[in-house]
Amino acid sequence: MGTECSSANSPLRREAKNRKFETANVYVPTIIDWLVKRKEKGRKIQKMKKEDTVKLISAEGFEFVVDKEAAMVSQTIHNMLTSPGSFAERQHGEVTFPEISTTILEKICQYFYWHLQFASGKETEFPIEPELTLELMMAANYLHT
């Protein structure tokens, strides 16, 4: 997918392992491939506006700012952001997952963009590290992805 954070030795992963999350960090996934695909479909590529993004916050307080269209891949997130009423998630555009670790939420964000890029195209495999499988399956079940 081209995300620099996908490798085990990336600076972001090293920082995450070596640092306690006293203050939240912000990570905006690299979505170059997805944007190229959007442009090929004739959609404009422009700077994301705050209302076009959603902030997903992991158990450790790490913040992932993702395109709202990508986050809507999850039925749970979709319901949180579009349900009628005055839910905090809808008003603030951020969703906290106290049970999902940073590593797992990062992988989920990567999956959102992978899904948008490849869902209607040729069959490709989404890479999952074996040690993440169980925790990732539990999170995917909760998020209905």
Percent above pLDDT 70 for the chain: 63
Confidence tier at 58 by pLDDT (50, 70, 90):
very high
Residue-wise pLDDT for 105-121, tens only, equals: 999 999 998 888 887 77
Integer CA distances (angstroms), 108 to 42, 63, 121, 138, in order: 27, 13, 20, 11
Q: Which residues make Cβ contacts (< 8 Å) with residue 145, sequence separation at least 6? A: 73, 74, 75, 108, 111, 112, 115
Q: Are 79 and 71 in contact (CB under 8 A)?
A: no
**Distance between CA 56 and CA 120 in Å, rounded?**
25
Question: Quick one: CA dihedral 33, 39, 116, 110, positive or negative?
Answer: positive
- pLDDT reading at 9 higher than 50: no
Ramachandran category for residue 85: left, alpha or beta (phi over 0 → left; psi -120 to 50 → alpha)? left
Q: What's the CATH fold of domain 4-143? A: Potassium Channel Kv1.1; Chain A (3.30.710)
Per-residue pLDDT at 21: 38
Which of 25-29, 35-39, 40-44, 68-72 shows the lowest mean pLDDT across its residues? Answer: 25-29
Indicate the pTM of the whole model: 0.67
**pLDDT tens digits, 20-29:** 433 344 444 4
Q: 62-83 pLDDT, tens per residue? A: 999 999 999 999 999 999 888 8
